[in-house]
Each structure stands twice: as C-alpha cells, then as structure tokens.
A = this chain, B = another copy of it.
C-alpha cells in the first residue's frame, strides 16, 4: 500500500497515514496538497491522506476545492491529535536549550511555554523538517517543536511532552482513493458518514427546505458549512456531512430529493466514522 501525504516524513500527516494504514505502508511524501491528489489520481499512490479541518483553524477550503477538481472519493477518516513536543538531541537538557525551530503556527501555539523557556524562536517550513534539521546540526542547544513520529524517525529525545497552549488541537484527515479501488463494505447505519458538496438554487428558504429533507427522514447531520463563492455574490456552496450510506434506501431517497433542489451536487464519499 502506497500512501501519499503532504509534508516531510514524521509530519502529523504521516502520523495520520499510519493511523489509517497501520501495516507499514510505503510512504509518498508530497510538497503540496495538489501533489497528493495528483499522485493518487495518477496511480503514483493507492491512498492519499489530506487534512480537511482542524479544531482551531477550521475547514480547509483548498482541500474541498481539490476534492471537486479531482475524481477521487473519500474512503476513511482519522482524527489526529496535534501533540506538540519539544525535541532535542539525545542527552540535551531542557535548561540548555537556546534556539527552537518549527513551523510558525506551531511556534505560536507554544508561545507561553517558549516565553518561560526564554529560547529564541526560528521559523521553519514544517515541523518534521525542523526536527530533521536539529538532528543533522548535532548542537545540544537547538531543539524543534514537532510530533512524536518525528522524534522517532530522526533520533531525537522528547525534552518536554506537551508544550502547546491550546487544548484539544485535533486535525481531521480524510483518506482518498480512485473510485472503485477499495471494495465498499456493507452499509450499517450510524457507523457510516457521507460527505457531499451542494449548491442550492438561489431562492429564499432554500437551505431550510434542504435540511427538511434530512430532518423528515431522521438523518443526523454532523457538519454543515456555507462557503461563499466570491466570484458571484449571493452564491453559496454548502459542505454537508451526515450519518448514513448510499446503500440505505432512506439515504438514497434523501439524495434524490436534494438533487432536485440543487444547482450542483457531488457526493464525495461514504466511509466508516473515525474516532
């Protein structure tokens, strides 16, 4: 199994890839999200792992746009805790750390800890790359902020376990493949989640009526988000997740009714809910 993700080996995306494919997959690190989609669509990888939303920074519209651009489908999801750790060389002491390297977002999220530590902050392209660089430099006053997998891959020690100011920093990742590549499991009601993107006709109360289709059939929504299409005012796309699978009659029925009210509708996939 070849699994593509954006980032360096040891990145949080790599951790999510292992959570999704525990049997030691062959990894395909990519520079950009688009490269992940290209790899999976072009058969350079069997599965792609991309972040779709984070508990602090929200939904990643760019990934939704790529989901609409490429003919891939969602076949799984992983909720990956973002657990920033301070990583140093083996034998380095916390009190001796003078310089800390990481992605600016991670440095911001660890602001309080870094102020207490009194170390200088240095921006890096990504967390795992910072860990590798610290390992290569071999200087015990340098440390990186990254995840546990980066520590393992680059032979660093965890100098402090949890250095983030933010509680509940979790990223939801999606697993993507070409349609039909992974055999569908039998649908089993609430274990499944279906994701779709819909643009409704521009009429008063259109969203209210669309949600009525789900409410009447007892289908639980687990995500609903409007995304303005800035090219044309008053046009919105909705991201919608609900519990259920297209194999179920009432879900099929709801999707057929929704399609009647939609200018555009694409089901992105149905998959067993992650935890």
Contacts and interface: CB of A to CB of B under 8 A. Distances in A.
B121 A104 contact: no
A215 B205 contact: yes
Given A123-B123, A208-B211, A230-B168, A57 B57 contact: yes
Contacts of A166: 62
A123 B108 contact: no
Interface stretch (A20-28, A88-96, A218-226): A218-226
Given A59-B58, A125-B121, A221 B204 contact: no
Contacts of A55: 61, 228, 230
A103 interface: yes
Interface in A98-112: 103-104, 107-108, 111
A231 interface: yes
A208 B215 contact: yes
Interface string A29-54: 00110000000000000000000011
A60 interface: yes
A261 interface: no
A124 interface: yes
A57 B208 CA distance: 26
5 contacts: A55-B228, A57-B57, A57-B61, A123-B124, A225-B226
